[in-house]
Amino acid sequence: MSAGIIVLIVVVLVVIAVAAAVASTRIRHRAAERQLLGPEYDRLADEVGPRKANAEFEKRRQRVDGLGIKPLSAERRTAYVSQWEAAQEQFIDSPAQAVSTAGALVTTVAADRGYEVADHDQLLSDLSVHHGRRLDGYRQAWQVTERGGQATTEEMRQAMLDYRGLLFDLVEYDTSDASDDASPVPSQAAAPVPAETPWKQVTQGLHWKTRQQEDDGVGATRP
């Protein structure tokens, strides 16, 4: 076998190896994006097809890139965590007001990050780029908020959980820390997610039951 043929074989093998590596990287990148977009991508792909869905999300990504989304300072994170703690404590005695406060806090944090919040539908579209996995819950929580006192206590409890998920996504996600596969990486300076006993009891449906039983004992009734 001549040296020229050997060189040609080596070149072909190198080209094949590079192509395989590029293809593997693209597959991992798309898988990471799909995970980041969550059910938002699946919903859109079912409606218009994968190709148009990819084009739509690329358009959304370019728009969000143009917004100049910025991370929060450690001080701002701490302040928002404190406000969340106040809202979740408020849930014990005033669930509807707590849900309204939580929804407003999510909007405030989004605006602080650089999202445009005046148009709710546009905000949902923009949030789908980096927080798509949280949007189903956020939509449901928003609907509960708009229903106000007509929602059940369980629906309001779930709304608080859904708001909490998106809130801490917004507080912790730092675009400057994003890796090459577009996966969100929590900032080391991010404030910890609070896990106080009263809120844990509320999320498990225990604290509300206890308070209601106490009220029943003195003849009071909660809605």
> Could you tell me the residue range of the domain that residue 16 belongs to?
1-37
Q: How far apart are CA 219 and CA 213, in angstroms?
A: 10
> From CA 100, how far away is CA 111, in angstroms rounded?
17
State residue 21's pLDDT score: 53
The answer to whether residue 223 sits within a structural domain is no
DSSP 93: T
Residue 55 domain-assigned (yes or no) = no
Question: Do residues 207 and 110 share a domain?
Answer: yes
pTM across the whole model: 0.64
Let me know whether 89 and 135 are in one domain. yes
Give the span between the Cα atoms of 28 and 22, in whole angstroms: 10
Q: Judge if 165 and 111 occupy the same domain.
A: yes
| Residue 83 within a domain | yes
How far is residue 32's CA from residue 34's CA, in Å, rounded to a whole number? Answer: 5
Q: Are residues 87 and 188 in the same domain?
A: yes
165 vs 223, residue with greater confidence: 165
Q: Tell me how many domains the chain contains.
A: 2
Task: Looking at the structure, tell me whether residues 95 and 177 fall in a common domain.
Answer: yes
Question: pLDDT per residue over 198-212, tens digit each?
Answer: 445 454 444 444 344
> Which of 91-105, 122-136, 162-176 has the weakest average pLDDT?
162-176
Q: What is the pLDDT of residue 23?
A: 46
**Residues 31, 81: one domain?**
no
Q: Which pLDDT score is estimated for 185?
A: 29
The DSSP 8-state label assigned to residue 183 in this structure reads -
Averaged pLDDT score across all residues of the chain:
74
* Tokens (6 digits) for 193: 């997610």
Instruction: Check: CB of residue 63 under 8 Å from CB of residue 119.
Output: no
pLDDT tens for residues 48-69?
888 888 898 899 999 999 999 9
More confident residue, 20 or 218: 20
Question: How many CB atoms sit inside 10 A of residue 23's CB?
Answer: 10
Stronger pLDDT, 191 or 13, i.e. the higher one: 13
Is residue 181 assigned to a domain? yes
The answer to whether residue 43 is domain-embedded is: no
Q: Are residues 86 and 33 in the same domain?
A: no
Greatest mean pLDDT among 32-36, 116-120, 176-180, 183-187 lies in 116-120
* Residue 147: inside a domain: yes
Q: Is the pLDDT of residue 29 over 90?
A: no
